[in-house]
Amino acid sequence: MQSSKLSAKDLINIGIYTAMYLVIFFVIGMINAIPVLYPFLYVIVPIATGIPFMLFLTKADKSGMVFIMSVILGLFWYLMGYTYLPIIGYCVMGALADLVLKAGKYKSFKASVLGYWLFSCAMISCQAPMWLFAATYMEKVRSSMGDQYVEGVQKFMPPWMGFAAIGILFVSSLLGALLGRRMLTKHFERAGIV
């Protein structure tokens, strides 16, 4: 019987795949420098990170692995200046994703897709400060990026975009998961994920 405790190998896997996810997210995230492209983060990030995340799921067969990854991501975005909201968002959504994966016994592709969608929804918490703390947060952005940028962001990222993102992320997470499974068929077969 397999131990439910996380091993050193599990922690190394968490570190490696968190770093891969972050690098891809960070590179794609640079498109938010152009306000009109900002909403496309919800489409591009889950598709592009689908391959490394789904590969991670072939190794994440113990409770807590996705949650730990989420905590690291939440702390990273906090340190990058996105307030404390990403810590809350990533911890909550990471815990929910872990529960879904556990319910699927780490072998269900449907549970993997649902878990990936929940995990991906955490990225909304990175944009949440611009809606929830609009006055103070956007003033900080204004001082570093200028008036024209702030006006563009407010135009293309209105508060309702946070709700629309939930549906957008479902579709893009599904596409990212399917792409990941297609690219990693051998890994999925070896892990017994169906």
Q: Where are the domains of the chain?
A: 22-34+49-191
CA distance linking residue 170 with residue 164, whole number of Å = 10
Measure the CA dihedral 86/92/94/97, to 10°: -140
Confidence band of 3 (pLDDT split at 50, 70, 90):
low
**pTM for the full predicted model:** 0.90
Cβ atoms of 112 and 177 within 8 Å: the answer is yes
Give the pair of three-digit tokens for residue 189.
């077969």
CA distance linking residue 76 with residue 71, whole number of Å = 9
Backbone angles phi, psi at 60, to 5 degrees: -90, 85
Q: Which of 108, 113, 109 is nearest to 97 (CA)?
A: 113
88-113 confidence digits (pLDDT tens): 999 999 999 999 999 999 889 999 99
CA distance linking residue 169 with residue 53, whole number of Å = 15
116-172 confidence digits (pLDDT tens): 999 999 999 999 999 999 888 888 888 888 889 999 999 999 999 999 999 999 999
